[in-house]
Homo-oligomer: A and B are copies of this chain.
Amino acid sequence: MLRNVRILVSYDGSRFFGWQRQEGFWSVQEAIEEALLGLTGETVTVRGSGRTDAGVHALGQVANFHLDTDLTDNRLWHGLNGHLGRCGAVIRALQTCEGNFHAQRSACGKRYAYVIETARFQSPFTEDRAHFVRGDLNIGPMREAAAHFVGEHDFSCLVTTGSERASNVRRIFGVHLVERRTGIAIVVGGNGFLYNMVRTLAGTLIDVGLRRRRPESIPALLIGRERSAAGETGPAGGLYMISVQYPGGIDWVFRRDRTGEPI
């Protein structure tokens, strides 16, 4: 009988063309499916909680798949990481779960971090892992601006055009700006995110931090629903999918590994 298995995945986005399998492009999904095929001989489809674009990192992506193997969870976990090798993705936790768990449809929230490095020159250690901004960011006005995004809004102003959705209304639970030694991380939680939404939110807050845009302008930006009125879409390398929330939570505690968190 097929069992339903869920995994917690960390990956360095610079080594993949995004999460989703695409003909001719190496993706995280394909890497995991190939590893499962090698380990169990089974051809499975790994479904993620959502796609991430090429270059976007993950510390806590969640995915699930159905397979037939009678390997224990522990062997499946270790075997899967063994097959993945040093490909840039690692399974931080794995557990057989209830049959109706669906990584995408069951999710009730997601958290992302957008990491900005501010310095005179970019560190050789953060290439493709942070968005480098020359000059100082004023965090006070950025926090003021961030607060305006919290709540339920139509986020059309932050969506890259061309994406088709029934509705651009989403709820942002919180936007927190964390001061770091070499910059700022913008941590955003919400019930769902539109295409490029976090990266454009970050670009808009950077404008505020550089005093090119006033915090008080944000409500009008949201009401206007014009993508062209918002800031630039920040580069993919600054974005990290931190975690996915599910009703009741997932208790990874016995299996979860510390692997992964550089930020």
* Chain A residues with a Cβ under 8 A of chain B: 10-12, 15, 57, 81, 86-92, 119-127, 129, 181-182, 257-262
CB–CB A260/B123 < 8 A: yes
CB–CB A12/B125 < 8 A: yes
Please, could you name 5 A-B residue pairs with CB atoms under 8 Å apart, sorted by A? A11-B124, A120-B258, A121-B259, A181-B258, A182-B261
Considering only CB atoms, which chain B residue lies closest to A9 in the complex?
B124
Considering only CB atoms, which chain B residue lies closest to A130 in the complex?
B262
Having A120-B258, A120-B259, A125-B260, one finds 17 other A-B pairs with CB under 8 Å, namely A10-B124, A12-B124, A57-B125, A81-B121, A89-B124, A92-B121, A119-B258, A119-B259, A121-B259, A123-B259, A124-B260, A125-B129, A125-B262, A126-B262, A181-B258, A182-B261, A262-B262
A10 interface neighbour in B92, B123, B257, Cβ under 8 Å? B123
- Known A89-B124, A90-B124, A124-B12: A257·B129 in contact at CB below 8 Å: no
Residues of B within 8 A of A11 (CB): 124
Residues of B within 8 A of A88 (CB): 124
CB–CB B257/A120 < 8 A: yes
Residues of B within 8 A of A259 (CB): 119-123, 182
Q: A82: shortest Cβ distance to chain B, in Å?
A: 9
Measured between alpha carbons, how far is A81 from B123 in the docked complex, in Å?
A: 11
CB–CB B182/A258 < 8 A: yes
Residues of B within 8 A of A182 (CB): 258-259, 261
Q: A240: shortest Cβ distance to chain B, in Å?
A: 10
Q: A262: shortest Cβ distance to chain B, in Å?
A: 4
A119 interface neighbour in B89, B257, B262, Cβ under 8 Å? B257
